[in-house]
Structure 1
Amino acid sequence: MKNLAFKQLVVASDTLKSGNQFEFKPRFNLITADDNSFGKSTLAKLLFWTLGGEPVLDITWTSFDVRCLVDFSVGNETYQAGRYGNIMFLRRPNGQWEKFPKITGAYSEAFAEIVGFEALLPNRNDATKLETPPPAFYFLPFYIDQQRSWSQAWNGFSNLEQYSKWQKTIIEYHTGYLLPEFFTFEEQIAARNVEKKTAEVEVKKIEAAIEVVKTYLPTSSKTVALSKGEFDTLAAEVTEDIAKLQAKQEELLGTIAEIQTERLYLQGQLDLARLASAELEKDYAFSVECVEGEVLLCPLCGTMHDNSSPVRASILADKDEADSQVMKLSEKIERQGSKLAKNQVRLESVRTEIEAITNKYNSLEPSEITDTEAITTKSSILESIASRAVQKHVQRTMETKTALIRTIQSTNKKLKAEQKKLLTKEERKELDATFKDTLFRYIDELKAQGINLSPVKSPLDYKKLYGSGGAAESTRGILAYYMSVIQQAHRAENEAFSAVVIDTPNQQEQADFNYERILKFLMDTVPSNAQLILCAMNRSEIQSYKNAAHVIELDEKKILCDTKYAECRALLSFDDSIASSSSTI
């Protein structure tokens, strides 16, 4: 099994004209300081930020306009990643720098390939589109953030809500309940669902076309009798004259159906744009009138949201964009209405020509009408011919598309059945039992027996750990849960095993003997070939770990240093080194 380990971090701020360089060793590392405000947490977060994660950095730090470079290894190969804003840079072993304009998409796919992270998540707006999630989703079980993770597991990074209901998929993938092959099936199913979605849209259009036929070509109930010979003669003459008009009429009916379908779609988009504009206006009013300061705490999830002037300005920019969409969509709907009216006029013109042809055959004498056969009157014969032709065509198409939808549904059902065979019910129960055994053992080692574990059946039950035991004991329970997940991930081998980064394990002021027990527990529990990076205040209880670790000690100058700017800035020239021959995504 390959491991990911951090080797070096270089950071520089052009705004402050300062920078620094930090090295990390393969096993134990300690980021420490004599004061909580010296930047321990920020230094740890920069490792993930540089690789494309989104840890919560304070507003002051984000104003420094920094760029960073991280050297990291996966197995025996060394890689480099650079970041400036949301622009990502990546260099593989013996390769050239690659530049990516954003974190999602091509960069996320490239990083996932390096670490063997094969999980896929459906796009929030289109469930048939599967995407490789950003690096944050890979790092989630391996990073315990001081502000977010101790109060809510699987919450170490922001912007995770870009995917809906991602928790089950990501947790089960990391812990071995979902194998990489699971997502091969998901891609096959999603590809067929795209085809199914297209067919369903076509069916809706056909239904609209049928309604148009019913509206513009009503069926006549009047019938008269003609002899068979007279009817055959009339039909032969009509066929030649009406063939072109029938084809034109059918084409116009199809065009009208398409226009009406497009208008319905555009109206739906217009309604959404108007709603978005109204909501953004409320958001801006709330951010200006109801929020003090530049930080907003979500009362539901506890997430800290930036409420600075640039963010408020971005809300107004989004509202302007929504208003612009409203205007554009309204204009499109108006143009579609105009097209619809023109095509309806053309259709009436064709029908008038058909009526003229009908009158051409009115020379048939009433005395010649007999009771031998009941058929439609001559005027309705022509309309009926056209109507039945259109209806027959759309009905055939409807049947074809409906059959395709049924076939796709049947195929996907079979794929789902095969997918379920990847992990049997017995194997799932075994994973549950292993996880619970590990969690119980770690709870015992950390002296957190006050935690009620009865409702916890699998790694998915992390929310059930909260609210039991005292504050300090509850914190140790969360640590036991994280380490149980990490052990399960190590056994699953679904990906490269990442460095474990824990920001300040001394939460809720653990009693001295418990803090020492926590540090020893971590040294013994993190897999022996994995990297561990701890952030902790410089105090006597960490001495044993400090003696075994590579130590990064921060002082009042914090992370950035004026005297190291030129040296560090020279190392951060990845954006300048992109040659025209380099791969630009």
Structure 2
Amino acid sequence: MENLVFKRLVVASDTLKSGNQFEFKPRFNLITANDNSVGKSTLAKLLFWALGGDPVLDVTWAGFDVRCLVDFSVGNETYQAGRYGNIMFLRRPNGEWEKFPKITGAYSDAFAEIVGFEALLPSRSDSTKLETPPPAFYFLPFYVDQQRSWSHAWNGFTNLEQYAKWQKTIIEYHTGYLRPEFFTFEEKIAAQNLEKKTAEGEVKKIETAIDVVKTYVPQSSKMVTLSKGEFDTLAAEVSDDIAKLQAKQEDLLGTIAEIQTERVYLQGQLDLATIASSELDKDYTFSVECVEGETLLCPLCGTVHDNSSPSRAAILADKDEAERQVMQINGKIERLNKELSNSQKKLESTRAEIDGINKKYKSLEPSGTSENQESAAESSFLDSIASRAVQKHVQRTMETKTALIRSIKSTNRNLRAEQKKLLTKEEREELNAAFKNSLTSYLQELNAQGVNLAPVESPLDYKKIHGSGGAAESTRGILAYYMSVIHQAHKAENEAFPAIVIDTPNQQEQADFNYEKILQFLMGAVPSNAQLILCAMDRDEIKSYRRAAHVIELDEQKILKETNYIECRSLLNFDGSIAEPSNKLPS
């Protein structure tokens, strides 16, 4: 199995006119300092940020106008990725720089191809569309963030909520419950569902058209009693007189149906835009009047939200856009109302002409018909011919679409049945048992036997990891869980195995003995061919790890240094114009 290995990080700030670059070795690496606020965590986060992940960076970094470059290898090939804002740059071996305007879409596809990440997730806006999730979903189990991951696993990055209910798919893919073939079936099913969705939309329109016909053209009692042969004979007799009027009436009925369908759709959009405008107004009022400072910590999920002036201005911009959409949709509805009124008037005029022809067929009414009954028959007789013609046509179309929908549902049931065969019940139970065995073993090594494993059956049960021995023991339980997931991911070989980055394992002030044991555990538990990057304060307990590791020691100047700006900035021209030899990748 190939590994993803970080080789070099280059960072520069045009605002501070400073920069720096850092090299990493293929095995053990240590980012350390004597002080706890000099940028250890930020340096680790920049590795993922440069590749398109969104870790929680300090809000001050937003004003530094930072751009980053990371050199990384997958197997024997070396790549470069750069980021400036949300613009991504990628250079493959012996290739030119490729530019991507955003992280999602083409860049995510390209990165996933490089690392063999084949998981797909349905778009939140349209569940029939499958997307390659951004690189954060690839790195999730391999990055333990100091602020978020120790209390809540699978939470090292922000913006994960762009996909609904992603956890089961991503966790099971990384840990081998889902193989790449699973997503081949998902793509087939999604394509079928898209076709079904289109057919269902057409059926809904047809139902609307039938309702319009029944509303504007009531059925004649005489027409209902006619047999098919009688109806065809009668229709042929009157065809010369009413062919043009009938065609015109059918067109008008179709137009009215389309207008009403479009009006219903626009009304729904108007309601959504109105709600969005109102909610954004409340958000802005809350951000200005109820939040102190430029950040807001969500009490439910721990996400740190930006509340700076640019963020509040963005809320106002979104509110203006929502109000503009309300005005546009109202204008469209008004135009549709006018078109509907005009079409109804034309329909009334056409029916008046038909009334003249109806008089020719009074003799068709049975003797003894009252004057009122005769008048009703005249007004509905030929309308019924047009109505039945329209209904016969749309009914055939509806039957065709309904049959297609039934066929797609049957096909999808068969695809799901075949998909389930990819992992048998016995194989799932074996994976569960292997995971729990690893977790039990790691908890013993970490002296965290107080963690209750009774409710834990698989990697999906990460929320059930709790220790009875206090916060420190629960933290070691989380570490044991992460390493169990990493062990299973290494065995699954569903993707290039990424570098493991753990930020400050000395959480909850582990006792000296246990902290040293944690570091020894990590050195032994990490796969022998994997890269480990550890962030830790420089203290006696890390000496054995420090001796085995490549050390990056930060000082009071933190990450960025003015003396390195010109050299580093010259490496960050992602347009292919980097002059030799500064663009050579480290060996």
TM-score by length of 1: 0.94
Give the structure 1 partner of residue 311 of structure 2.
Answer: 311
Secondary structure of 1:564's aligned partner: helix
Identity of aligned residues (%): 80
> How far apart, CA to CA, are the structure 1 residues paired with 2:401 and 2:8?
57
* 1:469-513 CA-partner distances (Å, limit 9, x unpaired): 311111100000000000000010110000000000111111111
Change (3 A) 1:322 1:231: closer
Matched to 2:10, the amino acid is: V
Change (3 A) 1:242 1:17: same
Change (3 A) 1:366 1:568: closer
Matched to 2:29, the amino acid is: N
* 1:326-366 CA-partner distances (Å, limit 9, x unpaired): 11111111111111111112222221222222234558899
Matched, 1:183 2:183: yes
Matched, 1:465 2:462: no
Contact persistence 1:451–1:473 (CA under 8 A): yes
> How far apart, CA to CA, are the structure 2 residues paired with 1:60 and 1:235?
80
> How far apart, CA to CA, are the structure 1 residues paired with 2:187 and 2:397?
28
Give the structure 2 partner of residue 6 of structure 1.
Answer: 6
Secondary structure of 1:215's aligned partner: helix
> How far apart, CA to CA, are the structure 2 residues paired with 1:91 and 1:416?
39
Which range moved further: 493-502 or 340-349?
340-349
Secondary structure of 2:221's aligned partner: coil
Give the structure 2 partner of residue 325 of structure 1.
Answer: 325
> How far apart, CA to CA, are the structure 1 residues paired with 2:57 and 2:365?
92
Change (3 A) 1:210 1:468: farther
Secondary structure of 2:509's aligned partner: coil
> How far apart, CA to CA, are the structure 2 residues paired with 1:555 and 1:424?
54
Contact persistence 1:18–1:564 (CA under 8 A): yes
Change (3 A) 1:237 1:506: same
Change (3 A) 1:325 1:467: farther
Contact persistence 1:120–1:183 (CA under 8 A): yes
Secondary structure of 2:400's aligned partner: helix
Matched, 1:534 2:531: no
> How far apart, CA to CA, are the structure 1 residues paired with 2:23 and 2:473?
34
Matched, 1:283 2:283: yes
> How far apart, CA to CA, are the structure 2 residues paired with 1:200 and 1:162?
27
Give the structure 2 partner of residue 354 of structure 1.
Answer: 354
Give the structure 1 partner of residue 200 of structure 2.
Answer: 200
How far apart are residue 236 of structure 1 and its match? 4.3
Secondary structure of 2:178's aligned partner: coil
Secondary structure of 2:341's aligned partner: helix
Contact persistence 1:223–1:377 (CA under 8 A): no
How far apart are residue 575 of structure 1 and its match? 3.6
Q: Map 1:106-145; keep pairs closer than 5 Å.
A: 106-145=106-145
Matched to 1:120, the amino acid is: L
Q: Map 1:334-483; keep pairs closer than 5 Å.
A: 334-361=334-361, 380-466=380-466, 468-483=468-483
Give the structure 1 partner of residue 267 of structure 2.
Answer: 267
Contact persistence 2:218–2:380 (CA under 8 A): no
Change (3 A) 1:577 1:243: farther
How far apart are residue 232 of structure 1 and its match? 9.4
Matched, 1:56 2:36: no
Change (3 A) 1:403 1:509: same
Matched, 1:484 2:494: no
Matched to 2:169, the amino acid is: T
> How far apart, CA to CA, are the structure 1 residues paired with 2:279 and 2:203?
34
> How far apart, CA to CA, are the structure 2 residues paired with 1:234 and 1:470?
89
Secondary structure of 1:497's aligned partner: coil
Q: Map 1:31-180; keep pairs closer than 5 Å.
A: 31-180=31-180
Secondary structure of 1:202's aligned partner: helix
Secondary structure of 1:136's aligned partner: helix
Secondary structure of 2:81's aligned partner: strand
Structure 2 unaligned spans of 5+: 370-375, 579-587
> How far apart, CA to CA, are the structure 2 residues paired with 1:571 and 1:367?
99
> How far apart, CA to CA, are the structure 2 residues paired with 1:491 and 1:13?
40
Secondary structure of 1:90's aligned partner: strand
Give the structure 2 partner of residue 582 of structure 1.
Answer: none
> How far apart, CA to CA, are the structure 2 residues paired with 1:523 and 1:574?
37
* 1:415-437 CA-partner distances (Å, limit 9, x unpaired): 00000000000000000000000
> How far apart, CA to CA, are the structure 1 residues paired with 2:365 and 2:512?
114
> How far apart, CA to CA, are the structure 1 residues paired with 2:557 and 2:356?
94
Contact persistence 1:32–1:538 (CA under 8 A): yes
Matched to 2:309, the amino acid is: S
Contact persistence 2:217–2:380 (CA under 8 A): no
Give the structure 2 partner of residue 18 of structure 1.
Answer: 18
Secondary structure of 1:505's aligned partner: coil
How far apart are residue 235 of structure 1 and its match? 5.0
Matched to 1:257, the amino acid is: A
Contact persistence 1:13–1:66 (CA under 8 A): yes
Give the structure 1 partner of residue 373 of structure 2.
Answer: none
Change (3 A) 1:124 1:172: same
Change (3 A) 1:238 1:146: same
Q: CA RMSD in A?
A: 2.2
> How far apart, CA to CA, are the structure 2 residues paired with 1:436 and 1:330?
59
Secondary structure of 1:299's aligned partner: coil
Give the structure 2 partner of residue 573 of structure 1.
Answer: 573
Change (3 A) 1:398 1:363: closer
* 1:522-581 CA-partner distances (Å, limit 9, x unpaired): 011110011000000011110100000000000000000111111111111114649xxx
Give the structure 1 partner of residue 221 of structure 2.
Answer: 221
Contact persistence 1:224–1:377 (CA under 8 A): no
Secondary structure of 2:70's aligned partner: strand
Matched to 2:464, the amino acid is: K
Contact persistence 1:97–1:577 (CA under 8 A): no
Secondary structure of 1:547's aligned partner: helix
Change (3 A) 1:219 1:234: closer
> How far apart, CA to CA, are the structure 2 residues paired with 1:399 and 1:237?
29
Contact persistence 1:453–1:465 (CA under 8 A): yes
TM-score by length of 2: 0.94
Change (3 A) 1:116 1:230: closer
> How far apart, CA to CA, are the structure 2 residues paired with 1:566 and 1:142?
33
Matched to 2:511, the amino acid is: A
> How far apart, CA to CA, are the structure 2 residues paired with 1:225 and 1:416?
48
How far apart are residue 233 of structure 1 and its match? 8.7
* 1:190-212 CA-partner distances (Å, limit 9, x unpaired): 00101101111111111111111
Give the structure 2 partner of residue 583 of structure 1.
Answer: none
Contact persistence 2:498–2:530 (CA under 8 A): yes
> How far apart, CA to CA, are the structure 1 residues paired with 2:294 and 2:343?
56
Give the structure 2 partner of residue 253 of structure 1.
Answer: 253
How far apart are residue 380 of structure 1 and its match? 3.9
> How far apart, CA to CA, are the structure 2 residues paired with 1:266 and 1:513?
66
> How far apart, CA to CA, are the structure 1 residues paired with 2:529 and 2:353?
85
> How far apart, CA to CA, are the structure 2 residues paired with 1:355 and 1:480?
85
> How far apart, CA to CA, are the structure 1 residues paired with 2:320 and 2:221?
56
**Number of residue pairs aligned between Structure 1 and Structure 2:** 570
Which range moved further: 183-192 or 378-387?
378-387
Contact persistence 1:122–1:130 (CA under 8 A): yes
> How far apart, CA to CA, are the structure 1 residues paired with 2:257 and 2:378?
28
Matched to 1:393, the amino acid is: H
> How far apart, CA to CA, are the structure 2 residues paired with 1:257 and 1:236?
27
Secondary structure of 2:483's aligned partner: helix
> How far apart, CA to CA, are the structure 2 residues paired with 1:231 and 1:484?
76
> How far apart, CA to CA, are the structure 2 residues paired with 1:366 and 1:112?
77
Change (3 A) 1:242 1:453: same
> How far apart, CA to CA, are the structure 2 residues paired with 1:232 and 1:141?
71
